[in-house]
Amino acid sequence: MSIQELDRQYVAGTYKRFPVEIVSGKGSVVRDAAGKEYIDMGSGIGVTAFGIADDVWQKAVTDQIGRVQHMSNLYYTEPCARLAEMLCRRTGMKKVFFSNSGAEANECAIKAARKYAAETRGAEYSTIVTLKNSFHGRTLTTLAATGQEHYHELYQPLTPGFVHAEPGDLDDVKRLCEENKAAAVMIECIQGEGGVLVQDKDFVCGIARYAQENGILLLVDEVQTGNGRTGALYAYMNYGVEPDVVSTAKGLAGGLPLGATLLGEKVQNVFGYGDHGSTFGGNPVSCAAALSVLSRIDEALLTAVRAKGAWIRAQCEDAPGIEAVSGMGLMLGLKTTKPAAEVVAACLEGGVLCLTAKDKVRLLPALNIPMGTLERAVSVILRCCAPEGNG
Ligand SMILES: *Cc1c(COP(=O)(O)O)cnc(C)c1O
């Protein structure tokens, strides 16, 4: 059987895959089993921050693999401690809990909020207010947090204690907090899976102020927006707010599984021995990879991310077949006249890998995509969006 047939026979059918098997790559170019090359404008859904098999990243990973690939959390390891320090120094947060995915990073954020609220205000303060159209993960609790009904239908009953406010409507957030004895409000500054929708500055700052004044925690889900993606180290930094908890994953380790939940001043000591844990969390190889990734996300790189994002935007705004461009930095959504899925299929044919998010074509290229490669990709995308274009 071919790899595609084997996969269809033996891998659980949760993914509608394109009929392409990726076998290798370098930087922002990947190759399929037939030898065809593609420019990767999705970076594994914002994961391979410095592209495929990047030399610096690879060295950080292989050096650590040759030393110790895993140790239980009963003992100290250097990459975990150094990464926690780096994350705290660069954000002002106080402590970090490491896990393996975005959903787990959010689970930890929710646990921290519930425990903190129970201890400071009473166990009845357990509700987490999230936004409609949000995406927070696939575990039963993070599905409950996700404000999209169609994800909920098959898996009732979900974890109780989640309500969903209208994005952009501060009064709705306040009303839900008051009616439900809220422990926390959890938001994505830019809804990624929801269609690359940027939240208003006034809305985010309004939530932060209201939460602060009412003893409610602000949790920011930076799983997709974090680690340089939007042109700031974390997207909340574009808003000038100070969250109590920040969760991140996707791009953090540049292609290895790692989730991190950053705990601010109020909640820094909410967890004691045995209150939470993870066998793989803080894995030394993932942490060494993340140290390498984060140390390269400096002002120069962030400036380049913003410049490349602005360049893509300038090419796409007013282009035939593109009605609007949303997003920040290298997290962009194109509202196209043709159905997004049709554009993405044409791009694939034309040698460019793109993503969709709801009705948008979503672009999440590697943060260091070379300008020449980006130019080639965008010319294919523009051609595929144009009404007469066929890729
Ligand atoms: C992808 C994503 C998640 C889930 O991350 P997993 O690693 O798939 O568990 C959670 N929140 C946001 C905003 C995401 O984009």
DSSP sequence for 129-156? EEEBT----SSHHHHHHSB-HHHHGGGP
Check if 44 has its Cβ closer than 6 Å to any atom of ligand 1. no
215: in domain: yes
The torsion region of residue 11 among left (phi > 0), alpha (psi -120 to 50) and beta comes to beta
Same domain, 148 and 251: yes
In a domain, 203, yes or no: yes
Please check the confidence at residue 172 and state whether its pLDDT lies above 70. yes
Structural domain harbouring 381 = 3-53+298-385
Q: 67 and 11, same structural domain?
A: no
pLDDT in tens, 278-307: 999 999 999 999 999 999 999 999 999 999
Ligand 1 pocket member 232 (CB < 6 A):
no
Nearest Cα residue to atom 5 of ligand 1: 102
Residue 391 pLDDT grade (very low, low, confident, very high; cuts 50, 70, 90): very low
Provide the pLDDT for residue 222: 99
Interatomic CA distance for residues 59 and 288, integer angstroms = 10
Of the residues 269, 294, 319, which one is the last residue of a structural domain?
294
Same domain, 285 and 268: yes
Same domain membership, residue 248 and residue 176: yes
Are both 131 and 268 inside the same structural domain? yes
CA 276 vs. chain centroid, Å, equals 22
What local confidence, expressed as pLDDT, does residue 388 receive?
Answer: 77
From 223, 248, 261, 364, mutation site for ligand 1 pocket: most ligand atoms within 8 A of C-beta: 223
Answer yes or no: do 94 and 225 share one domain: yes
- For residues 188 and 221, give the distance between their C-alpha atoms in angstroms, rounded to a whole number: 5
Domain boundary among 237, 268, 294: 294
Residues 289 and 319 in one domain: no
Q: For residue 194, give the 3-state DSSP assignment.
A: coil
Residues 333 and 185 in one domain: no
Same domain flag for 41 and 61: no
For 49-107, write each residue's pLDDT tens digit.
999 999 999 999 999 999 999 999 999 999 999 999 999 999 999 999 999 999 999 99
Domain assignment of residue 48, yes or no: yes
Kind of pairing between the strands at 355-357 and 352-353: unpaired
Domain endpoint, select from 294, 328, 358: 294
The reply to whether 278 and 305 lie within a common domain is no
How high does pLDDT run on average in the chain?
97
Number of structural domains in the chain: 2
Does some domain include residue 381? yes
d(CA 330, CA 365): 7
CB 185 within 8 A of CB 115: no
Same domain for 223 and 339, yes or no, is no
Q: Is residue 42 part of a domain?
A: yes
Give me the pLDDT at residue 389, please. Answer: 47
The pLDDT value recorded for residue 219 is 98
> Is the model's pTM score more than 0.95?
yes
Residues 306 and 217 in one domain: no
